[in-house]
Chain A
Amino acid sequence: MKYENTSNIRQDVPFHLEVIVLKYTKRIALGLLLTMVVLAVAACSAPPFAWPGLAADGQAVYATLLDGKIHAFDPSNGSELWVFPPQAERKPGLGCTGPSQTSLGLYASPALTEENLFVGSYAGQTYALDRSSGTQRWSFASQEETKGGLAGFFTRKKNPAIIGSPTLDGDTLYIPSADQTLYVVDAASGTRQWDFQAGDAIWASPLVTDDRIYVASMNHKLYCLDKDSQTELWAFDAQGAIPSTPALAGDTVYLGSLGRQVFAVDADTGQLRWSFEAGSWAWATPLVISDTVYASEVNGILYALDAESGAKRWDFTAQGKVQATPAYADETLYLPAEDQNLYALDSVAGTQKWQFTASAALMSTPVMVGDKLYLAGMDNKVYALNAENGAKIWEYSVTQE
């Protein structure tokens, strides 16, 4: 449809609303469409993909932050040593699934050796980096796909995201992937050795012992594999997805599930020893100290349970949601919460000793090195605190590009 005559009309008519509307019809229509798109995008604005991850030792502090990168800091003063990747590779994207915000999307906590650092990305890459310089040594790509009909037209690529940290055991690296596969690779070269199909996404880091591998899957199952033969020994049904790593103490495996339960399972046979019903999702990895299991539920309650019987000893309620496992040192539990507070609790009585308030939600497990406690906020800030009293030693803030 052409409106070439409208300019002529306008010359003859000093003010004519219809003519103006006619002339700008396309622009008005376009404006309406853009408004609709903006509203649609706003309607499904995505929550954060994940939360930061931390690892530290005496040499450096490593944080995977919500800018999708890994940052290395000097533990003494918080100055940045390096960042990987140095430049963001922004991918175009629109809408709720759009990976538009970030580049590689490194969110899982890194695993450390003397020389190397291993970290997985949402794009399905696992990187081995030089710890001192942050330079890449190798990368491993996980990407399982299901072949479809019509010459592969309906081939379905599974979500390759690596959400849990890789687990290092000697020279072997165990990489959990949301594509339902546990990849086992050579830590020195990144060469694939074997893999295990879990039947659903694996979000949690595998728990590796001398002779067993425990793999938690989102299909509600905890699998126990024989390390040598790579065969499945048993599977335990947790009646809910298991998003976090189980904990092993003695001959018992402890795990939480989104079925709102905490379980104690015989590590050899997979038989249930006890279960504790929480009020909401038991997302975090339980922490076992001596004869007590500390398990949290997402609605902000931390429970202290008897490791033998599962009986509740005490509970503590934070003001916000809790996803992370508390850190522990010297009879003190350090519990981060969505309400921006880090709670220091007496591990025996469950009473609060002090609290530190950050500038954003705290969703990641803090890391304790010596007398310093490191934690990362959802606003890309990393803090070093005095573990004794919660006093801030330094703070680092990443400026988003």
Chain B
Amino acid sequence: MDWLIEPFMPIMINALMFFYRLFGQSFVVSLALLTAIVRILTVPLMLPMQKSARKQAELQPQIQAIRKKYAKNQQKQNEELMKLYREAGINPMGGCLPMLIQLPIMFAFYRAIVQALAFKPGELFFGLGKYIASSAAFSTLVPLNSRFLWLDLAIPDRTYILPVLVGLTTWLSQKLTPSTASSGGDDQAQAMSQSMMLTMPLMFAFITINYASGLAVYFIISNLVGMGTQYFINRALPTTQTTGGRAGKSTKAIKEAPAPTPQSSPANSQSRSRPRSTSKRKGKGKRR
């Protein structure tokens, strides 16, 4: 992973130190500013992903119809789906690539936070020292003031307040972010989305129990900034009229979707899965 993260490290560390020096040697202010900047700078990477998700949501009726029509012919089904995506101008990888591109940036940010808060000789020497040992401006700032409220940002928060806040804000942030699955995806995708909706906040909360609390503060700020930017993205992007997802406002689309022919859908599959999926979508629509 180092080869992927390392190119971003000098930028992250120096930016953290720059803001730390500029704003009264407050690590939390420095962290908040840089988090906001990074999140805002990565919005252009997020937009294609979200546009793609919304387009896919709009196409769900057609996608479902194709899947049912060619349920027994996987190759044909894939061909038709790809054709549909092409015609709609959707690149299936368009959603993943931007996310993959920003991963090293995020990981470099994690590492920069941890290394900036180093309080062990090895961490300071091999970590932060690698980037700022020659800097006249930043060398005198070491060690950074890691105190914030009741916290020492360099060590885990033993009151467990931050891990709870991380879990809560992660959950809220996910609720606000549309995905292909949540905005009208099929049953399987929705099931996965729901599973992630619960397990992701728990996992992040668990991670922050053991990590430096500075990282937890970062997660919280990042989630809050993310929710703010998401609010504006939601306003900027056109609302989809689809299958009961949060982006859509009604279940109109699914009702108007072409019904699969009896021949195209296996009897049992139709009798079991379709009614269940419809009712579930309605249920989700109500919950939201």
Contacts and interface: CB of A to CB of B under 8 A. Distances in A.
A353 to B, nearest CB: 27
Nearest to B146: A159
B263 to A, nearest CB: 15
A243 B123 CA distance: 13
Contact of A50 (B120, B151, B276): B120
Contacts of B126: 47-48
Contacts of B187: 18, 22
A148 B152 CA distance: 13
A161 interface: yes
A43 B110 contact: yes
Contact of B212 (A17, A97, A299, A363): A97
Contacts of A258: 133, 139-140, 142
A93 B207 CA distance: 10
Interface in A118-139: 122
B133 A29 contact: no
A77 interface: no
A158 B147 CA distance: 11
Contact of B110 (A1, A44, A200, A243): A44
A1 B193 CA distance: 12
Interface string A18-33: 1101100110111011
Interface residues of B, number: 61
Interface stretch (B13-21, B29-37, B236-244, B264-272): B264-272
B136 interface: yes
A28 B129 contact: no
B125 A323 contact: yes
B71 to A, nearest CB: 7
Contact of A243 (B121, B150, B151, B211): B121
A98 B155 CA distance: 10
Interface stretch (A275-283, A308-316, A344-352): A275-283
A39 interface: yes
Highest count of chain B CB atoms <10 Å: which of A50, A96, A299: A96
Contact of B122 (A13, A48, A93): A48
A72 interface: no
A221 interface: no
Interface residues of A, number: 73
A37 B207 contact: yes
Contact of A12 (B67, B125, B199, B268): B268
Given A48-B122, A156-B152, A159-B155, A33 B210 contact: no
Given A1-B191, A44-B114, A298-B133, A259 B268 contact: no
Contacts of A220: 140
Interface in B178-232: 186-188, 191-192, 194-196, 199-200, 203, 207, 210-212, 215
Interface in A91-128: 93-98, 122
Nearest to B125: A323
A218 interface: yes
A131 B62 CA distance: 80
Given A8-B268, A29-B199, A239 B119 contact: no
Contact of B196 (A33, A98, A283, A298): A33
A217 to B, nearest CB: 10
B96 interface: no
A112 to B, nearest CB: 22
A373 interface: no
A65 B194 CA distance: 48
Nearest to A108: B121
Contacts of B272: 5, 8-9
A32 B115 CA distance: 27
Nearest to B156: A97
B107 interface: yes
Given A9-B272, A50-B121, A203-B121, A29 B192 contact: yes
Interface string B1-33: 100010000000000000000000000000000
Interface string B95-136: 000000001001110110011000111111111010001101
A88 interface: no
Contacts of B123: 46-47, 49
A391 interface: no
A240 B139 contact: yes
A95 B207 contact: yes
Contacts of B276: 5
B121 A22 contact: no
A33 B139 contact: no
Contact of B199 (A33, A159, A201): A33
Contact of A47 (B119, B122, B195, B199): B122
Nearest to A47: B126
Contact of B103 (A39, A95, A159, A280): A39
Interface string B249-288: 0000000000000000011110011001000000000000
B119 A280 contact: no
Contacts of B92: none
A315 to B, nearest CB: 16
Contacts of B107: 39-40, 42-44
A16 B71 contact: yes
Contacts of A159: 119, 152, 154-155
Nearest to B119: A159
B25 to A, nearest CB: 13
Given A28-B192, A298-B129, 13 more contacts: A12-B267, A29-B192, A32-B196, A40-B110, A43-B1, A93-B210, A94-B207, A94-B210, A97-B156, A97-B211, A218-B143, A280-B134, A323-B125
Interface of A: 1, 3, 5, 8-9, 12-13, 15-19, 21-22, 25-26, 28-30, 32-33, 36-37, 39-40, 42-51, 93-98, 122, 148, 153-154, 156-159, 161, 163, 178, 200-201, 203, 218, 220, 239-241, 243, 258-260, 279-281, 283, 298-299, 321, 323, 363
14 contacts: A8-B268, A13-B71, A16-B269, A18-B187, A19-B269, A25-B191, A39-B103, A43-B1, A44-B215, A49-B120, A96-B212, A154-B150, A240-B142, A259-B139
